[in-house]
Amino acid sequence: METQIASEVNAPALHDIEAQVSFYEKNSYVVLPEFLNSDEVRLLNDTVDQDRRDNPFMWWYEGNPRCACNLLVTQPVFDITYRRPCVMRLLEQLMNPDFCFASSSVQITEPSDTERPTGWHRDTPYWFEQRYNINFPQVICYLTDVNESTHCFSISPEPAGGEILDDAEQVEKRGGVHFYGKAGTAIFFNSSTVHGLTTRKTENQRRILQIYYGHHSQPPINDSSIIPPRLWRDHPDPEARKFYSRLNHMSIMYCDGFSIPVPKELQL
């Protein structure tokens, strides 16, 4: 099938949760226009630049010097991104009150003098006990403008809770969608769907904020993001404390190392 385009232009309105859910049911993704406003995008990009200068040792996830997974620790200003109302509404509709923060990162894709086809893959298995088979929903927010002349995120749409095809058959039969948008635009999707980075010959750097959400009742997706006590223990909002309370092994290990008691109910 032909590759199509997804953008903020053809997305359901953020205030129309029924339209968003209906679109998601058909495609396993939905675009979120203006997830961040221009001032927030500018603030976060400036913070990324500052963090790369001040904390280069934190930009080395799995050997990648252009990926940072612990801005929860080094840059609390990123707290403005994780519980955006438009995402909380979707999580409430598509999941259940069990949802929680799982992991986050900022990733930078540098200019390239070659093009490469989309690296199609699935991040996680489906969770078939859940209505829409969602285990770890994900948000990718662009921190730079993205169009046909830049690297972009791509996804192969599928009906939520519908027939699951293997990766190659999924792309062949259902096609792919390139996600374009100005900085601040985001896409919400099931991490179990087929998706990937499309690399283009370009002089433009692409920056994304990637956020995973999960279930309190399920194991953490990974140990990449340390969740500091200021969020799961000290946050003034009890709903926020609950949201950040699914601690991974790394978070618990650091708490043990610094003699920070972790309540028994938060331990793995």
- The pLDDT value recorded for residue 29 is 96
- The pLDDT value recorded for residue 173 is 95
- Return mean pLDDT, the chain: 94
Instruction: Delineate the domains of the chain, giving CATH numbers in brackets.
Output: 4-223 (2.60.120.620), 226-268 (no CATH)
Summarize the confidence of residues 46-71 as an average pLDDT: 93
Rounded alpha-carbon distances, angstroms, from residue 63 to 55, 59, 66, 177: 15, 9, 9, 29
Q: Residue 164: pLDDT above 80?
A: yes
- The pLDDT value recorded for residue 5 is 78
Summarize the confidence of residues 113-136 as an average pLDDT: 94
User: Hey, what's the torsion of the CAs at 148, 208, 193, 1, to 10 degrees?
Assistant: 0
Summarize the confidence of residues 105-132 as an average pLDDT: 94
- The pLDDT value recorded for residue 14 is 86
Cα gap 240→61, rounded to integer Å = 26
- The pLDDT value recorded for residue 88 is 96
- The pLDDT value recorded for residue 9 is 65
Put simply, whether the predicted model's pTM sits higher than 0.85 gets the answer yes
Pure H helices in 179-237 = 229-232
Summarize the confidence of residues 6-31 as an average pLDDT: 89
Summarize the confidence of residues 25-48 as an average pLDDT: 97
pLDDT grade for 1, boundaries at 50, 70 and 90: very low
Summarize the confidence of residues 242-267 as an average pLDDT: 95
Cα gap 125→134, rounded to integer Å = 9
Q: Which residues pair with 142 in a beta bridge?
A: 208
Name which of 139, 143, 191, 186 is nearest 14 in CA terms.
Answer: 186
